[in-house]
Chains A and B, each alone.
Chain A
Amino acid sequence: MTTTSSEGPAPAGPDPVLEADTAEPAASVAPAVVRLRDVGLFYGEFRAVKGVSFDVPTHQITSIIGPSGSGKSTLLRSINRMNDLIAGTRMEGEILYHEENLYASYVDPVEVRRRIGMVFQKPNPFPKSIYDNVAFGPRLNGFKGDLDGLVEQSLRRAAIWDEVKDKLKQSGLTLSGGQQQRLCIARAIATDPEVILMDEPCSALDPRATLQIEQLMAEIKERYTIVIVTHNMQQAARASDRTVFLNMAEDRAGYIVEQGETAQIFTNPTHQMTEDYVSGRFG
């Protein structure tokens, strides 16, 4: 754990929770929804991520940046237990959601994913109508109520209502890439999650659609807490409140080099490696 910055709130120790409370920088007073404590992730024998600890403050956007192969996506997917679906993955450490360990034996991953939603790298609407795409999650939950209203509300919050309100019966696949991704955000919103994980949501989109998504994120963070993985440093700098910078160690496992307020990470990083990365000198 010697590689973890002392600047971060939680260098993994024997009693991480206690230490996290004391070491928390004054800037992030917002309470944390999700806390990662000394998380290590494995694909079979290969260690993809080691010793990662950070807090996700509520109603903020936390971005995870770092070169490819540093385990950003794997880390993100561990937060709503999507990694469970890949055979041979293993997790050590703790991920706490409102101080409850998500990996406790009694926890049902399905319940986790209903509270911690996900938007993927490539827009992946279902081959169903726009309406049915948004209504999918609520229907899974046995939603009894004004489904039409919920669909409209979700599409409005995802800033796509005006573009699709006249063609709700059309297939979601007929939309443009940017529209598809906003539809996927609407679909995630419709299940009313507390946290939304976004795995490089703009990497398949053009600059204009990217900007729209970023604006959308800024609007919905009033209601939701967002964690975003991005390759795009400008995006992290523009859109996020906090930034976690991962890099690959010599054994190719990802670890946290530095974390903190986004402004600080980008303008006044503590580590030379961070400065090199955010100024585009590697990665």
Chain B
Amino acid sequence: MTASAAPGGSLLRGSRRRRRNEAAVRGALFAAAALSILISVGIVLSLVFEAVSFLSQIELSQLVAPGWFPRRGMFSIATVVVGTLIVTVIAMTIAAPVGLGSAIYLSEYATPRVRGIVKPILEILAGIPSVVLGFFALTWISPNIVQNLFPEAKGFSLMAAGIGVGVLTIPLVASISEDAMRAVPNALREASYGLGSRRLTTSVRVIVPAAISGIVAALILATSRAIGETMVVALAAGASGGSLFTVDPLGPGQTLTAAMASLAAGSDQVAGANAAFQSLFFLGLLLFLMTLVLNVIADTFVRRTRQKY
């Protein structure tokens, strides 16, 4: 580490050109990496600026209205948040047991051959565009499942949307929690079987507790995904113009994301710097904060699993 000057003509100095090229490559790669930070900053700034502008244009009392009707100046947060929660709860009621069940089966029960067939199928399901699932929820799940079980249900319903979103998040739950279970060391499995446990006991009492961090992370991530899912709700939950406050899962309703989609694309498409248009950014900010909190929590759970083994 001596900071001595190079003796004249030392061969160990290396070529200046190569050093310059190396520095240039490093600089370019760093610039690319820094871009991701710039994107985050861009997202936050574009959300916050317009959301603040929106809030400054309206009376705060307009946020507490009988419903969400942006063109009429009614911006009931409760309506869209409760709608989002209803869809999310229904989605997780489907995705949690189905996803976890699939994960336990794949990790603890399935032969390699069955895994080889089933995993790609789950991956294909994960790759289906949400707009397709939205159309399916509207035209098949709604009449054949929702209205069959509950004859009083409407054609557009939060229930049908929730089931559609649930189907969409099954692969996410299954793959992350399966990864967590497969990361459990085999020694634990063998110890359990060695004590005479059955597969059921081993799975439920040994593997699931050992993988619990990963499983919790999977469920939180799926919740975050369900909250942010847009197309299924925009198509199957109806209420494109707006909605009164509702807690009825069998009727149409409005969610954060669906309200954003209909503001941007619906027949009530509004542009320019009026409050209705800017409510889009306000909803976006709410959605961003909700999912960010969930993702950060899930991330700490994921890291906890990684530390353990």
> Footprint of B on A, CB under 8 Å?
91-92, 94, 97, 100-108, 110-112, 115
Contacts and interface: CB of A to CB of B under 8 A. Distances in A.
B12 A111 contact: yes
B2 A101 contact: yes
Interface in B114-160: none
B4 A101 contact: yes
B12 A91 contact: no
A105 B4 contact: yes
B192 to A, nearest CB: 35
A110 B18 CA distance: 10
Nearest to A92: B1
B14 A91 contact: no
Interchain residue pairs A-B with the least CB separation, the first 6: A108-B14, A106-B6, A111-B14, A107-B12, A105-B3, A111-B12
Contacts of B10: 100, 106-107
A108 B22 CA distance: 12
9 contacts: A91-B1, A100-B7, A105-B1, A105-B3, A106-B4, A108-B18, A111-B12, A111-B14, A115-B12
A226 B7 CA distance: 26
Contacts of A115: 11-12
Given A108-B19, A110-B18, A100 B12 contact: yes
A97 B12 contact: yes
B84 to A, nearest CB: 44
B12 A112 contact: yes
Given A100-B10, A106-B12, 17 more contacts: A97-B12, A100-B7, A100-B12, A101-B2, A101-B4, A103-B2, A104-B12, A105-B1, A105-B2, A105-B3, A107-B6, A107-B12, A107-B13, A108-B18, A108-B19, A111-B13, A115-B12
Contacts of B3: 104-105
B37 interface: no
Contact of B5 (A91, A106, A108, A110): A106
Interface residues of B, number: 14
Most chain B CB atoms below 10 A, which of A91, A92, A97, A108? A108
B8 to A, nearest CB: 12
Contacts of A105: 1-4
Nearest to B4: A104
B11 A104 contact: no
Nearest to A94: B2
Q: A interface, by DSSP: helix, strand, loop or mixed?
A: mixed
Given A97-B12, A108-B12, A111-B12, A103 B19 contact: no
A101 B13 CA distance: 11
A106 B3 CA distance: 8
A103 B1 contact: yes
Contacts of B14: 107-108, 110-111
A99 B13 CA distance: 15
Interface in B196-253: none
Contacts of A102: 12
Contacts of B4: 101, 104-106
Contacts of A103: 1-2
A115 B2 CA distance: 21
Nearest to B6: A106
Contacts of A92: 1
Contacts of B5: 106
Nearest to B16: A108
A171 B306 CA distance: 36
A87 B7 CA distance: 29
A233 to B, nearest CB: 35
A31 B4 CA distance: 24
A111 B12 CA distance: 5
Nearest to B3: A105
Contacts of A111: 11-14
B6 to A, nearest CB: 4
Nearest to A109: B14
Nearest to B22: A110
Contacts of A108: 12-14, 18-19
Interface in B1-38: 1-7, 10-14, 18-19
Contacts of A101: 2, 4
Contacts of B19: 108
Contacts of A97: 12
A144 B19 CA distance: 21
Interface string B31-50: 00000000000000000000
Most chain A CB atoms below 10 A, which of B2, B4, B11, B12? B12
A140 B7 CA distance: 26
Contacts of B2: 94, 101, 103-105
A107 to B, nearest CB: 4
Contacts of A91: 1
